[in-house]
Amino acid sequence: MYENRIEFDKMDFTQEPPVEEPQRQYYYIARARAYVKAESERLGRPLTCVVTTFGCQMNARDSEKLSGILRQIGYVETTEEEQADFVIFNTCTVRENANLRVYGRLGQLNRVKKKHPHMMIALCGCMMQEPEVVEKLQKSYRFVDLIFGTHNIYKFAELFVRRLESERMIIDIWKDTDKIVEDLPVERKYPFKSGVNIMFGCNNFCSYCIVPYVRGRERSRNPQDIIREIEHLVADGVVEVMLLGQNVNSYGKTLDEPMSFAALLQEIEKIEGLERIRFMTSHPKDLSDELIDVMARSKKICRHLHLPVQSGSTRILGKMNRRYTKEQYLQLVKRLRDAVPDISLTTDIIVGFPGETEEDFLETMDVVEQVRYDSAFTFQYSKRTGTPAATMENQVPQDVVTDRFDRLLTRVQEISAQTCSRFEHTIQNVLVETVNDHDSSLVTGRMDNNLLVHFPGNESLIGKIVPVKLTECKGFYYIGECV
Ligand code: SAH
Ligand code: SF4
Ligand code: F3S
């Protein structure tokens, strides 16, 4: 495990770089570090960087790895993008809007870079895995210094050095990989909670989704590596982990010694000092009875499950290649609720998938009525080039999509306000995360089910799990008092 123990300044990088990972990256970190040191001595100030993340929690975790490497290289993180010496965008391409935001932000940066030509700009993440995107960048965004993808993020230090030694835009994108590099530096955003990758990639190929194309084939980390990482995190003050994967329920299938996700959870549960376990995302088709059983018996797994339904119409689910029916989904919800009473369920829903009729949409509304989610992320279908759904006939007109989307959102929010209030006047354990932004006599924390609670307290509570009486529900959050 990487423990800030490597003495980069004493490393001899006049020799050839090692071939093995992660030693090779340590070598490049040392080289980059020498450059940053010389440069900041010349300027008489530290060099600064900004890591901007778009997209999901996987990307957020990847960004923590980028931050970890940048810190070891010698950069100091800042929030002032316009002043920074190094800016990196870790991009998302799951919906068209995600891409548009990146291009918008790049346009702004171009204006800044014209004034500060020494500024270095790097792009990485899912959007870079799309050849059309890279082509467009090469043509119209020549001011970008470095472009890499999702599979070679661990090579960031090496690519950085390559850019220093060349005057040209560096582009390195891999189609796929079967490699997982362990033990690189990470800079956590929160001292008390952390994401932990348990698997990478996705093999599901839901017909609307770009993720399998940009994140590659499914591969799981070895359980020993995961446990070791969590043990180190706990020793470093972490009390809550979020296990990350596009489909955590199929964890372990590709390992030399296959292991189920439920079995992994049981191992993680044993780690002393760890208090809360979360995970996402769960694909309904792979959610096993074994997992439900483990959740029911666990003292650490949070009573919350994000279970994306996407659509309530069995016909549309078929076209989406989700491989479950409306009835199977509802059955699953029933089994979960029987085993774990009070479990909070959240979901993702897509409106306007090609061919969706009013009847199909009403099936989705029906699932929402029946399940009564604590919250739901609702999305308008977005056409992703290269996915099967992009070429399907009967794309739904925008005005119809907007109308359905508004109806769905209204109902989701009404139900959510009602279900969330069911904990009013109970006592719940809350992990305190911050001093309240608006009122410094309050702190803000999260319940087991991820809902926010504001209550009187001070900084000393941050990172602690405390019992809180929930005095009032304010829709999507609570006001409480320590007991
Ligand atoms: N692996 C996760 C989802 C990752 S993407 C899972 O299977 O649940 C997050 C969400 O984005 C998806 O659940 C889906 O609701 C939404 N999404 C993905 N592709 C989309 C598209 N083309 N248009 C609209 N929403 C999309
Ligand atoms: Fe996309 Fe489906 Fe994989 Fe989730 S499970 S990432 S929605 S293909
Ligand atoms: Fe976006 Fe990539 Fe995540 S496309 S949602 S950042 S896996």
Test site for ligand 1: of 209, 351, 405, most ligand atoms within 8 A of the Cβ: 209
pLDDT band at 5 (very low <50, low <70, confident <90, very high): low
Among all ligands shown, which has an atom nearest to the Cα of 92? 3
The residue whose two tokens read 């020993």 is: 224
- Cα–Cα dist 62/150, whole Å: 9
Terminal-to-terminal C-alpha distance of the chain: 39
Residues 314, 323: Cα–Cα separation, whole Å = 9
> What is residue 1's predicted lDDT score, i.e. its pLDDT?
52
Q: What is the pLDDT of residues 142-193, one digit of tens each?
A: 999 999 999 999 999 999 999 999 989 999 999 998 889 988 999 999 999 9
Give the distance (Å) from ligand 2 centre to CA of residue 351: 16
Q: Is 59 in the pocket of ligand 3 (CB under 6 A)?
A: yes
Confidence check: pLDDT of 7 > 90: no
Distance 246 CA to ligand 2 centre (A): 6
Helices and strands in the chain: count of H runs, count of E runs: 13, 19
Q: What is the pLDDT of residue 4?
A: 57
Q: What is the residue type of 176?
A: D
Q: Whose CA is nearest to atom 1 of ligand 2?
A: 209
Query: Which residue has a Cα nearest atom 4 of ligand 2?
Result: 246
Residue nearest to atom 1 of ligand 3 (CA): 92
Strands 193-197 and 240-244: parallel
Ligand 2 centroid, distance to 172 Cα (angstroms): 25
Measuring from each residue's beta carbon to the nearest atom of ligand 2, which residues come in under 6 Å? 202, 204-206, 209, 211-212, 246-247, 283
Q: If phi over 0 gives left and psi between -120 and 50 gives alpha, with beta otherwise, what is residue 240?
A: beta
Ligand 1, pocket-test mutation among 323, 345, 348, most atoms within 8 A of CB: 348
How confident is the model over 274-326, as pLDDT tens digits?
Answer: 999 999 999 999 999 999 999 999 999 999 999 999 999 999 999 999 999 99
Spatial strand order of the sheet with 240-244 comes to: 193-197, 240-244, 276-280
State in Å: Cα 372 to ligand 1 middle: 20
Is the CB of residue 209 below 6 angstroms from any atom belonging to ligand 1?
yes
> pTM to 2 decimals?
0.95
pLDDT of residue 9: 83
Tell me the CA–centroid distance for residue 416 and ligand 1, in Å: 20
Residue in 327, 312, 24, 352 with CA at minimum distance from that of residue 157: 24
Return the ligand number nearest the Cα of 384: 1
50, 119, 134, 347, 385 from 239: Cα distances, Å? 27, 38, 40, 25, 41
Task: Give the pLDDT band (50/70/90) at residue 476.
Answer: confident
